[in-house]
Structure 1
Amino acid sequence: MIGGEIPVRDLKLPDQRHPEKAHRPDNAQPKKPKWIRVKAPVGKGYMETRKIMRDHKLVTVCEEAGCPNVGECWNQGHATMMIMGEVCTRACTFCNIATGKPPEDLDPFEPGRVADAVQKLGLNHVVVTSVDRDDVKDGGAEHFAQTIRAIRHRSPGTTIEILTPDFINCDPAVLELVVEAKPDVFNHNLETVPGLYPEVRPGARYFHSLRLLQRVKEMDPSIFTKSGIMVGLGETRQQVHQVMDDMRAAQIDFLTIGQYLQPTPKHHTLDRFVTPEEFAAYEKAAKGKGFLMVSATPLTRSSYHAGDDFARLREARERALAAAS
């Protein structure tokens, strides 16, 4: 099977951090359709990326969330680093990241280690995300800002994309700390339609998340804003189209839509597998609504092909500005 294609449900990542969450053969899981296939996580590039992450004591959302694209991305040296620990204070029912009370304070040396890893990987574009840290007064906003500044100092030519929490329990002013550090892309995922928030994101609020992204654009229009949702959770097509309209009203530039894959039987129940044809229809509709960039496929994830997408995003903005002049 080395180098071949295997179903997502049979993918076992090396060095699982949460073996109690790993899939077991006796767990009843829906059969994956033929279009959801991933390459086994092997290869020289994969092992080199993994070693850099371990040497710098860094956590990646690729492993923690069991991303199906980890083999492809890590072979290219692309890893999405997850700052502020590996335990999240929220309990979203779609997510495979460990939840509870974080055992440690924020590590003041982590921004520097992230910057070192980015430099060693030679990344042109990096994505940095985090767990939710509701136990920290500013939700980790200053930690994000420090990480952005450290990467800029060490790798000035690298473009930076951040995927942040909602900072819902913080003073609204903390968002300024992140925006003033000038990431190239500010991403915060809405994850699903508002009607499913009580079940899927019980600690979040749909319109708060929308407003967060709108405020980023108001503070600094040069920063690209980005958000994503999963489908297959029980939403309707009409609800997805309404989310698109809400995002455009908040001036969000880039939309991602991917298939929800239920991590374990304890997580939110998978409603259905959305077909590639339906994803193509969503992409067409989103482009018609004015998004600069849309990625909508079964295996789309927030940071999947993020560097290539960012280059296309900049080109799309330039074309839009030229057309408006």
Structure 2
Amino acid sequence: MPSSKPSCPSRPASPRLPSWLKVKPPMGQAFAGTASVVAGQELHTVCRQARCPNMAECFGKGVATFLILGGVCSRACGFCNITPGSPSPVDPGEPDRVALAANKLGLRYAVITSVTRDDLPDGGAAHFAATIRAVRRELSAAAAGPEAASGAGPGVGVEVLIPDFQGSAEALAVVLDANPSVLNHNLETVPELYSTVRPQAVYARSLELLARAKASGRARVKSGLMLGLGETREQLARVLSDLAGIGCDMVTVGQYLRPSRRNLPVVRYVPPEEFDEVAELGRTLGIPVMYCGPLVRSSHDASSLLAEGRLP
């Protein structure tokens, strides 16, 4: 298991950041309030850990994507800013703290992801399930009073972005049994680039996880891709065709942004109009919802997409 990301002195520099990718820095009382709630519950967010460009926007709206199972990942993907190494023991109190934070933020739709935990027998599936149930109980009670504390309150949803669980169907079933509203697993890139972008992942294994989730009928199924890592349009079309073939309900597509010098460089900044073309391609292939744009991320506007009926 790697303890740190390899240094990449020979990698070329990324091209200059174009104007359409420049975002406002974090600021304001609302941003500070969201950060305070997260810190007060001793939680991690993928917003901060992964240096998401939408952090200022989302925190400013009182929205955060919770990162469970610690802040250290057992894998070392070339695109990711999360610290790789040997993770800490699972914190049994974390699900309840995520639920409390979601309630304090006034959320009615919570998005939860995690580091990858290949060190755990179930990959952290039971912890995901416990977090889904805790959040549903807390938000349902807040939405409809104590009588709804069983977890069936109106307007409450939980979306999870899960790792591949090393292909375990049993681990996936544990998560699905907790009834997430949306189950997301990102393919991230085309299979031809997995050796550098996701060296510890397997494209076919990730696609199979999504296929199993869809076949279960237990949740809407979502996946995400990054552009600008050197993929070709033909390779991207094959991935979208694969996702359409397994019945994926929604795909997000955004621009890869290099979070630090130790990560892979950007090969190309894709102009906004090409994201429109990718969205049309996905819809033509049969994917009901394509949410594409330079700053689109997996959990970006997740609750709005559901509330607006843009998810089937």
For residue 125 of structure 1, what is the amino acid of its counterpart? Answer: Y
Of the three residues 172, 184, 199, the one matched with 1:175 is: 172
CA RMSD of aligned residues (A): 1.5
- Select 1:166's aligned residue among 150, 164, 167: 164
1:184-210 alpha-carbon deviations (Å, 9 max, x no partner): 000000000000001110000001001
| One-letter amino acid of the counterpart of residue 158, structure 1 | V
Alignment partner, residue 236 of structure 1:
232
Distance 1:164 1:257 in 2: 17
TM-score between the two structures when normalised by the length of structure 2? 0.89
CA positional deviation for 1:315 = 5.1
Number of the residue aligned with 2:247: 251
- 1:114-168 Cα deviation digits (max 9, x unpaired): 0001111111211100000111110000000000000111112421100001001
Of 77, 82, 85, the residue aligned with 1:100 is 85
Distance 1:254 1:72 in 2: 22
State the match for 2:53 in structure 1: 68
- Partner SS, residue 160 of structure 2: strand
Q: Which residue of 2 aligns with 1:310?
A: 306
SS at 1:129's partner residue? strand
* Structure with bigger RCO (C-alpha 8 Å, 6+ apart): 2
Which residue is equivalent to 2:64? 79
Question: Post-superposition shift, 1:266?
Answer: 2.2
Q: Secondary structure at the match of 1:228?
A: strand
Q: Which structure 1 segments of 5+ residues have no match?
A: 1-19, 21-26, 318-325
State the AA in 2 paired with 1:208: R
Unaligned runs of 5+ in 2: 6-11, 141-154
Conserved 8 A contact 2:14-2:265:
no
Residue number in structure 1 paired with 2:144: none
- 1:106-117 matches, within 5 Å, as 106-117=90-101
Residue 293 of structure 1 is matched in structure 2 by 289
Quote the Cα distance in structure 1 between the aligned partners of 2:83 and 2:72. Answer: 5
- In the other structure, the counterpart of 1:282 is 278
Cα distance, 1:29 vs structure 2? 4.8
Aligned residues: 288
Misfit runs of 4+, over 2 Å: 27-30, 314-317
Deviation at 1:253, TM superposition (A): 0.5
Question: Does the 8 Å CA contact 2:228/2:266 hold for their aligned counterparts?
Answer: yes
Tell me how far apart the structure 1 counterparts of residues 260 and 42 of structure 2 sit (CA, whole Å).
27
CA distance in 2: counterparts of 1:204 and 1:222, whole angstroms: 25
TM-score by length of 1: 0.86
Per the alignment, residue 147 of structure 2 pairs with none
Please state whether the residue corresponding to 1:155 is helix, strand or coil: helix
Give the AA of the match of 1:243.
V
Q: Give, in angstroms, the shift of residue 298 of structure 1.
A: 0.4
2:221 aligned partner: 225
Distance 1:177 1:282 in 2: 34
TM-superposed CA distance for 1:222, in Å, is 4.6
| Partner in structure 1 of residue 206 of structure 2 | 209
Distance 1:241 1:218, change over 3 A: same
Overall identity of the aligned pairs, in %:
46
Contact 1:29 1:265 in 2 (8 A): no
